[in-house]
Amino acid sequence: MPENKTQPTQIAPRDFIASVEHPTRRDDALTLLALMEKITGWEAMMWGASIIGFGTYKYQTADKKWHEFMRTGFSPRKANLVCYIMPGYTNFDPILERLGKHKLGKSCLYLNELADVDMDVLEELIRAGLDDMEKKYPL
């Protein structure tokens, strides 16, 4: 299995957010940054050119190589906010049903803007994702 191409960088997350052109996406990114800092207690770091991550975990692939990746994070993309808050395959439907307008990928949550979702439910979802990560990949 190839090594994870998305690696930590020295880019400051707030500098990256300041470069986001769309004003709503930029403001939402600042809100998510503050929310995830509060929830995790971890300092944000950039992963690659556009992902803001919090915490890390190590995992082993089938080829017995160890890799490191963020525990949770987000990216203010042009089309939407992408939240990486679910470790994948865990059923968070009871929480997602209360969240508001969203789309799902394998372990990604896509939001048009934060105004479309219930922020208390989003916080609950982020915490549930982190709790699930802790069960699978203890600190």
Q: What is the pLDDT of residues 52-100, one digit of tens each?
A: 999 999 988 889 988 889 999 999 999 999 999 866 668 899 999 999 9
Neighbours of 122 (CB within 10 A): 24
Query: Which pTM value belongs to this model?
Result: 0.91
Number of domains in the chain: 1
Tell me the C-alpha distance between 132 and 75, whole Å: 21
CATH code where residue 118 lies: 3.90.1150.200
Residue 7 lies in a domain: no
Q: Is 4 helix (H, G, I), strand (E, B) or coil?
A: coil
What's the pLDDT score for residue 93? 92
The per-residue pLDDT for range 11-57, each reduced to its tens digit, is 999 999 999 999 999 999 999 999 999 999 999 999 999 999 999 99
Q: Is 118 helix (H, G, I), strand (E, B) or coil?
A: coil
Tell me the C-alpha distance between 131 and 116, whole Å: 25
Tell me the C-alpha distance between 40 and 53, whole Å: 11
Residue 5 lies in a domain: no
Structure tokens at 38: 């509060």
Neighbours of 58 (CB within 10 A): 9
- Tell me which residue range forms the domain holding 21: 13-136
